[in-house]
Structure 1
């Protein structure tokens, strides 16, 4: 475990957060994760495989997913729900992801503190806030969660003999990409053009694609489509709106295309998703 003076130099960058719900047998095929993640399981059971380690997860488990690892997941119950927070954490003297070395490369914690669960919910609530201090709040809640994980760790997690994981620590790049992320979150239902987005931050469209991919792990079009699907999934579960109307609300005017993309992302049609998550 690192001493306090080392922890004080930690550079933390909140990226994105969302609550997801998936039906039984949902599978996330193995992918390399370009940022760190913390996930709080809210409902159901699932298996997560992080590199070569298998984790069986249940309600109130917190799983730390290191930047640069390989992740695959499978849900074993209907309405498998978790809150996911994406971030990067590094030290000014190095681009190496040393955060993993503080708590072990992978870590699962059964959360015993309702205040920590409250912090996860606060992050989801504040994510869409228009407050000027939004990102200070988001980073503050994230720091409280990370502090809990550090304090809950006994330092015995095995350290892998893996290649060092490199973190992009160019704050200027992150700030420009984060501006576009924020804009997309607030305008997900409109037609967004990459050239117009690039002009907002005074870079070329090619540069924006590169910065955005470094910052989020996705291209702008991939991120925007994922965002539309997340918003749509939430509306499908929480409202009785027609599926075609929800598609229109998120800026997709072809219901058939919406259904195809939704099934590709969630494994089932929007109608089946609504029935399964609601337990109908």
Structure 2
């Protein structure tokens, strides 16, 4: 697992929904991380067989891969819903709970402003909007993390006699490790240029390393092989385009570097559990 400071969160979509008492969200797998801020009313959510009631002025966190259903239990139910993804998909890892300590439900203490600002900037045509959207998402995650319960602390008090010298050394290496600058250059380049044709040899050249050394160093720092990382960046970029534009699937596939649309659809479904069209439809339903 790479150092958690190197994990980036990518905004996908925000919606403001107003539902009546008969609204039901059918049981579905959620293919992205989600925050919901409840503006008005109450609803019962079932998330991975855990039933919770959410109400006005609360924020609920639904991690990617959850099985969720929802139904309104008041005459009106209004909420913001933010969808976002990690820059790389870490299988079976609830990143925000495990590493940032974010609770399932948090009482709003001013975080509603981040939902409102993201919603406002998404609708703006200003060239700077992406910076504000990204910034407010980071502030929202940071604010919720400040009040979270950090289950897997990387830094803090040591347990006691459970730590011998070797464990202490191992822990220090884990805490202090930062992404190697040569890998960071390649990671940043891939994020900025997801549509280029990549090979391990090309990426190794960007890092001024041999292919073997680069592949080993890249996996040590990101937890992924170089080509796995490229694929997941492309698919995350495609997911964002699906939710923020009305482009057809063929165009989006081409935009993110896939010349074969059917191959793109298969890879997308393998990563998110939905075809691109299904993924877009789920977002519109709230």
TM-score range, shorter chain: 0.5 to 0.7
Mapped partners of 1:9, 1:105: distance in 2: 18
Task: Count how many residue pairs are aligned between Structure 1 and Structure 2.
Answer: 208
Mapped partners of 2:141, 2:24: distance in 1: 27
Equivalent residue for 1:59, pick from 43, 56, 60: 56
Contact conserved, 1:49 with 1:71, CA < 8 A, in 2? yes
Rg comparison, structure with higher value: 2
Q: For residue 204 of structure 1, what is the aligned residue in structure 2? A: 260
Unaligned runs of at least 5 residues, structure 1: 158-166, 186-192, 231-280
Mapped partners of 1:43, 1:133: distance in 2: 31
Deviation of 1:224 after TM superposition, in Å, equals: 5.2
Mapped partners of 1:32, 1:95: distance in 2: 14
Q: For residue 172 of structure 1, what is the aligned residue in structure 2? A: 234
1:135 aligns with 2:197: no
Q: For residue 218 of structure 2, what is the aligned residue in structure 1? A: none
Contact conserved, 1:90 with 1:99, CA < 8 A, in 2? no
Mapped partners of 2:265, 2:146: distance in 1: 38
Deviation of 1:148 after TM superposition, in Å, equals: 1.1
1:26 aligns with 2:23: yes
Q: For residue 75 of structure 1, what is the aligned residue in structure 2? A: 72
Give the TM-score normalised by structure 2.
0.60
The secondary structure found in structure 1 opposite 2:144 is helix
Contact conserved, 2:43 with 2:72, CA < 8 A, in 1? yes
Q: For residue 84 of structure 2, what is the aligned residue in structure 1? A: 87
> 34-43 or 212-221, which moves further after superposition?
212-221
Contact conserved, 1:45 with 1:56, CA < 8 A, in 2? yes
> 41-50 or 51-60, which moves further after superposition?
51-60
Mapped partners of 1:181, 1:213: distance in 2: 15
> 198-207 or 25-34, which moves further after superposition?
198-207
Structure 2 counterparts to residues 216-227 of structure 1, below 5 A: 218-223=274-279
Provide, for residues 79-129 of structure 1, a one-character-per-residue CA deviation record: whole Å limited to 9, x for no partner. 20111111123679988443320245852111122xx21110111112233
Q: 1:36 to 1:46 in 2, by over 3 A?
A: same
Q: For residue 260 of structure 1, what is the aligned residue in structure 2? A: none
Q: 1:214 to 1:111 in 2, by over 3 A?
A: farther
